[in-house]
Amino acid sequence: MVQINFARKEVNCKIVYYGCGLSGKTTNLEVVHEKAPSDRKGELTSIATEGDRTLFFDFMPLDLGKVGGMSTKFQLYTVPGQVYYNATRKLVLQGADGVVFVADSQRSKLEENIESLKNLEENLRENGLDIRKIPLVIQYNKRDLPDAMPVEELDEKLNWYGCPTFEAVAIRGEGVFPTLKKLSAMVLAKLNKEYGVGSRKPARTESRAQAAKASSGEISTSDRPAPTRKPAAKLQRQSALETATATAAPPATERRKGAAQTERPARSEPARPPRRSPPPPRERDPLRTAARRRTPPPPPARSPETRRSGSGNAVFYAIYALLALVVIGVVYLLVSGKLNEWIANL
Amino acid sequence: MIGKNSEQMRETRLVFYRDDVDRINDVLEEFLKLSGAKANILIDKEGHAVTQAGLTSSLNVDTLSALVAASFAATREMARLLGEEEFTILSHQGKNDHIQLTLIADRCILCTMFDDSTTVGMVRLYAAEASKKLHRIFDTIARRTEAPAGESIAADFGDQAESALDDVFGA
């Protein structure tokens, strides 16, 4: 929950690194701590076991500096990944403004990743947060390991919400900053949308409003496809690929190193070979990037009730009316005794 | 009345305006004076410091706030397991310095640091008084519907955020 403090001229946001055990959450934080400018970072505090496994959380404050006259700070937390520590995981998640889900790319860890993502959704819900509304970024870590699954397959298996994804080798510091930068931009865009007046600037109204919407994660069923809406996700992917066909591809190594943002929409059809098309060009504006890269939103998921509309409604009501008439008729016959008479005649 | 507003406050995020924080600071200063404690930090439940009073310059307020909030959250879970709704006061006793944590309006935690120049009883007594006063201030904050003039996020926040992110994380 963002705290805006006009007395201290501060904006404080809470970002949580989530993921299964040994996926690299603490490593991410260590890299941020090591590489962030010294005047911007605070102390890295770890509440860990003797074996260096996170027991409660790791924490470090990161100062973004003055933004719009407010000192903007991110409080970065990790959760303990081990299944046993779910209670503490839930506590750390309380009041989170954004989540980085660190997935272990190894095939042998796929089930653990899926369990952890489900656990994230559940714990967010128990903290009154919706995974579809909170800014969320997935990092596919450990891309250098031989057992690493292809990104397309990971997208299909894990990116149920169509959120931005990044490849990383956190232990070498690759992909760590792009991941955090994207999530930070999403969190600030959401804050700006809810509290700022920037979106009302006439010259940039459209792009900023779109960026805020897409980046904010306030997308619910309209911007992020629901897990079960695979056809919509497929269309999204195709559309993105078609858009990308006209652009030039950066070298593969650049993507690998996380130097280029590898954000992509959700994909759902791994069996279909991906078209050989280059990804869209890198965009410099993090607050507007999401809006541009996100493909047109799928139609919102509707409940059976809301789906009954137009001509469907008319048929529905007609059937009801017919049934009501039959019931009234039977009751009338029963009351008047004519039904017995009619049955006796039969 | 207070309970209802506290519920509302839990549901909505808190924005602290200068006037509110000035009033909170007055309460914290008075509390320090009466109790003989060394320092106060008011921390929201997410672990962000709201304001501070007394000798806090040597403290790492950010980290302390995060740890206090986590400690309180963990204790709340313990309370729940015991069938209690919440433990509203926590004390940590050291050799020389001690900490008392008091839950305020179910939304913030007042962290009071004191040494042997005063007693736990004094701190607890005046903390209870300060808590009531802070409660009333928080109720006013929760009822506020409009921001005071001149206190809003700047129009160019989005643009500045972009360049700040580039500065820290690289373009």
Q: How far is CA B121 from CA A189, B94, B129, in A?
A: 47, 16, 13
Q: Which domain holds residue B92?
A: 2-147
CB B114 within 8 A of CB B123: yes
Looking at CA atoms only, how far is residue A97 from chain B in angstroms?
10
Q: Is residue B155 part of a domain?
A: no
What residues of chain A lie within 8 A of the CB of B77, using their CB? Answer: 87, 91
Its ipTM equals 0.87
Instruction: Read off the pLDDT band of A223 (50, 70, 90).
Output: very low
Question: Can you give the CATH number for the domain in which B70 is found?
Answer: 3.30.450.30
Q: What is the mean predicted confidence (pLDDT) over A22-50? A: 92
CB-CB under 8 Å, B157 with A67: yes
- Count of structural domains within chain B: 1
- Judge whether residue A118 has pLDDT over 50: yes
User: Which of A40, A68, A87 shows the shortest C-beta gap to B156?
Assistant: A68
Looking at CA atoms only, how far is residue A241 from chain B in angstroms?
25
Q: Which two tokens stand for residue B9?
A: 């406050």
Q: What is the pLDDT of residue A61?
A: 96
**One-character DSSP codes across A133-148:** TS-EEEEEE-TTSTTB
Please, what is the end-to-end C-alpha distance for chain B in angstroms? 51
Say how many CA atoms lie within 13 Å of A11 toward its Cβ: 25
Q: Is residue B162 part of a domain?
A: no
Q: What is the pLDDT of residue B82?
A: 94
Q: Is residue B20 part of a domain?
A: yes
Q: Where are the domains of chain A?
A: 3-293, 304-345
Q: What is the pLDDT of residue A65?
A: 93
> Distance (Å, rounded) from C-alpha A123 to C-alpha A125?
5
CB-CB under 8 Å, B154 with A69: yes
pLDDT digits 0-9 by tens, B90-145: 999 999 999 999 999 888 999 999 999 999 999 999 999 999 999 999 988 888 87
> Distance (Å, rounded) from C-alpha A7 to C-alpha A256?
44
> Distance (Å, rounded) from C-alpha A81 to C-alpha A49?
13
Task: Could you please state the CATH topology (level 3) that the domain comprising A3-293 is classified under.
Answer: Rossmann fold (3.40.50)
Q: Which residues contact A146 (CB under 8 A, 6 or more apart)?
A: none
Q: Is B67 on the interface with A (CB under 8 A)?
A: yes
Q: Is residue B170 part of a domain?
A: no
Q: Which residues contact A133 (CB under 8 A, 6 or more apart)?
A: A216, A217, A218, A219, A220
> Distance (Å, rounded) from C-alpha B9 to C-alpha B20?
15
CB A77 within 8 A of CB A16: yes
Instruction: Read off the pLDDT band of A68 (50, 70, 90).
Output: confident
**More confident call, B156 vs A60:** A60
pLDDT digits 0-9 by tens, B140-168: 888 887 778 778 888 788 888 889 999 89
Residue of A2, A6, A31, A210 to mutate, interface with B, max B Cβ within 10 Å: A6
Instruction: Read off the pLDDT band of B14 (50, 70, 90).
Output: low
CB-CB under 8 Å, B47 with A185: no
Q: What is the pLDDT of residue A125?
A: 96
Classify A175 in phi/psi space as left (phi over 0), alpha (psi -120 to 50) or beta. Answer: left
CA neighbor of B39 nearest in space, from B129, B109, B111:
B111
- Judge whether residue A239 has pLDDT over 50: no
Please, what is the end-to-end C-alpha distance for chain A in angstroms? 74
Weakest mean pLDDT among A78-92, A140-154, A222-236: A222-236
Say how many CA atoms lie within 13 Å of B82 toward its Cβ: 10
Q: A327 in helix, strand or coil?
A: helix
- Judge whether residue A307 has pLDDT over 50: no
Give the H or E element holding residue B103: strand B97-104
Q: What is the pLDDT of residue B13?
A: 56
Q: What is the mean predicted confidence (pLDDT) over A282-295? A: 38
User: How high does pLDDT run on average in chain B?
Assistant: 88
What residues of chain B lie within 8 A of the CB of A43, using their CB? Answer: 60, 63
Instruction: Read off the pLDDT band of A218 (50, 70, 90).
Output: very low
- Judge whether residue A230 has pLDDT over 70: no
Write the single-letter amino acid at A182.
K
A139-A142-A30 Cα angle (round to 5): 75
Q: What is the mean predicted confidence (pLDDT) over B18-34? A: 96
What residues of chain A lie within 8 A of the CB of B160, using their CB? Answer: 66-68
pLDDT digits 0-9 by tens, A164-202: 999 999 999 999 999 999 999 999 999 888 876 544 333
